[in-house]
Every structure is written in structure tokens, then in C-alpha cells.
Amino acid sequence: MVTKVRGAFNEFTGSGHLDAEVPANSLIQVTIKTASIDTRNADRDAHLKSNEFFAMDEFPEITFVSTNVEKSDASTFTVTGDLTIKGISKSVSIPFEFTGSAIDPWGNTRIGFEGV
């Protein structure tokens, strides 16, 4: 049987800079702690952390570093970058949709995107 399993990584850090005028000058970086996998099933999580999947003891992090950002249309950007899992890097492209902007309490502009 094939089924969709939902889950999340609860420990991660990331940063990004979007150059709206020249998207190729943008940079996105994300680091995920593999031990933080949470599918709401302890046995499944332990299996995912094992050497058969994430090998979290040897490879405690998953990383993504963008290599290119392109504006696809008025509200969508495509981010291409190197995704590294278990020491193996592959290029992936992810479309992101602009979800809005706001000024934080310190006067900084914050923008939101959602991967689609």
C-alpha cells in the first residue's frame, strides 16, 4: 500500500536575501536537523533517523543553498539550489509564491513566501 505521510522537521535555521530587481543576486540558505523529524509516530521517526534513511548520527543535517533565483511571474519566484542529504547533493527547483509583506515592530520590512 502507498500512502501520504505528513510530518515536519522541528529544528531548522535559515536565512534569505531577495533582490527583487536582480533575482539572480538573491541567496537562500536552510539547515535542518535530521533528529528533529516528527511524523507523530515514534516508531516511524526512529526508522527515518536510522542508517536506512537519514543516518542522523553520521549526517546530522540536511542543507539547501540556492544557486539561482528567477522571477516566474508577478507573484512567483523559482528558487534552484543544492539540496544535500546524507552527503549527496542534488539540484532542485522549487516555486515560491509571494504571500505578503509587513513592517515589524523595529521598522524592518518582512516578506513571506510559500513553497508551492
pLDDT the model gives residue 3: 87
- Segments in the chain below pLDDT 50: none
Q: Is 25 helix (H, G, I), strand (E, B) or coil?
A: helix
pLDDT the model gives residue 25: 95
- 82-88 long-range CB contacts below 8 Å, 24 or more apart? 85/54, 85/59, 86/54, 86/55, 86/58, 86/59, 87/59
Average pLDDT, the chain: 94
pTM value? Answer: 0.86
Q: Which of 68-97 are b and which e, b meaning 16 or more Cβ less than 10 Å from the residue's Cβ?
A: ebebeeeeebebebeebbeeeeeeeebebe
pLDDT the model gives residue 84: 98
Please give the share of the chain, as a percent, with pLDDT higher than 90.
Answer: 82
pLDDT the model gives residue 55: 96
